[in-house]
Amino acid sequence: MRRLGREVFRQASAVAISLFGLLAITFFIGRLLPLDPVVAVIGDDAPQSTYDMVYRELGLDRPLWEQFAIYVGKVLQGDFGAAINTSNRVADDLLRVFPATVELATVSIVIGVGLGIPFGVIAAVHRGTLIDHVVRVVGLIGYSAPNFWLGLMGLVVFYAMLGWVGGPGRVSVFYIDMIEPRTGFLLIDSLLANEPDVFWSAVEHIVLPASILGYSSTAYIARMTRSFMLEQLSQEYVITARVKGLSRARVVWRHAFPNIMVQLVTVIALAYAFLLEGAVLTETVFAWPGFGRYLTLGLLAGDMNVVLACTLIVGLTFVVLNLISDILYRLLDPRTR
């Protein structure tokens, strides 16, 4: 129990220090940028008296260290300030937009894992053959092509020309605000509300952006899976198993693949984290009302409350997924225990 307590304390301390450092760096960089938060609030045409009043209300007349201390105290209470674009509390906006990004990222990572792992294993087993080259070329395209360009081309071809998928937005205009948000995930909320039309409309709209993001995740996961499998297939235990008469499929999936699962956990966790914070351009192209689009609008408006809060959420996402990876390590590999 003492060892477990020390481990929990060590992990909690590491998380706290990481988030505090991230918040401090972002806060001070934000203060050094040539952005005037007062002008962002009141506009360029406000009189000087109004400017001075808002300047004092925002606490900008105080020393920088005192401003940071006050901000940290508010953050610990869950107060990130108000957003300029929406005039709502940033915390309330994040609770509204983040589930949309989680829903999009989850569907994307399911596509990435479901396709990337089999493709990577097949490419490794057939190393140097046509199959291997095809997988590597397709992966290279998915890893290199900009998501915003793929998104635009996808909208032109599959939405405007063929009409196979829904257009921008999370759901058709007719169904906007029709479902009362319970979980924040529209696919789940529409099923809970017994609205199949809304559900299928949400499916039509999420297919294309999730496929674009899932394609890039597939390329990354397939490339890493291939690399891990090539290393395992060259080990002596694989040769021994083949000499004993085991089939190639049994050797690959029952002996070699379990030995790369721990490494794949890290790859999948990182891919999921990047989907949660890196879908900015994709959400902008598809007008997806999620975290990335909210951050983009905050940056364009010079709203440091939004930028600081979103940066902290991104850091917290990576920290939490790393902790989950550590737990899965212990479950999948007894040597780590």
- From 275, 92, 109, 111, select the one nearest 181 (Cα to Cα): 92
Q: Compute CA distances 276 → 1, 86, 99, 194, whole Å.
A: 35, 22, 10, 28
Per the CB < 8 A criterion, the answer to whether 307 and 299 are in contact is yes
pLDDT of residue 34: 65
Please name which of 36, 72, 79 lies closest in space to residue 54, comparing C-alpha atoms: 36
Across 182-187, average pLDDT: 84
Q: Which CATH superfamily is domain 98-336 in?
A: MetI-like (1.10.3720.10)
Q: Which residue from 102, 111, 83, 335 is spatially nearest to 222, judged by alpha carbons?
A: 111
Q: Which long-range contacts (CB under 8 A, 24 or more apart) does 124-131 make?
A: 124/225, 124/226, 124/229, 124/230, 124/233, 125/229, 125/233, 125/248, 125/252, 127/230
Task: Provide the mean pLDDT of the chain.
Answer: 82
Nearest-angstrom CA–CA distance, 185 and 214: 18
Q: Taking the CB of residue 180, how many other CB atoms lie within 10 A of it?
A: 8
Query: How high is the pLDDT of residue 284?
Result: 82
Higher pLDDT, 32 or 108: 108
Q: How many CB atoms lie within 10 A of CB 308?
A: 22
Residue 105: closest CA among 206, 192, 183: 206
Q: Identify the three-state secondary structure at position 171.
A: coil
Alpha helices, DSSP H, located in the chain: 2-32, 37-42, 48-57, 64-76, 90-125, 130-144, 147-154, 186-192, 196-233, 236-243, 248-250, 261-278, 280-285, 291-300, 304-332
Q: What is the mean pLDDT of residues 289-305?
A: 82
What are φ and ψ of residue 82, in 5° steps? -105, 150
335 pLDDT exceeds 70?
Answer: no
Mean pLDDT across 209-213 = 90
Q: How far apart are CA 96 and CA 185, in angstroms?
A: 10
Mean pLDDT, range 251-277, rounded to an integer: 85
What would you report as the CA-atom Rg of the chain, rounded to the nearest whole angstrom? 24
Give 118's pLDDT tier (boundaries 50, 70, 90): very high
* Boundaries of every domain in the chain: 13-76, 98-336
Task: Give the mean pLDDT of 136-161.
Answer: 85
Is it the case that residue 288 has pLDDT exceeding 80? Answer: yes
Specify the pLDDT at position 110: 93
Q: What is the mean pLDDT of residues 140-154?
A: 84
pLDDT in tens, 36-55: 667 766 666 777 777 778 77
Average pLDDT over residues 179-185: 81
Position of tokens 């989680």?
102
Per the model's pLDDT, the better-predicted residue between 220 and 143 turns out to be 220
Distance of CA 288 to the CA centre of its chain: 14
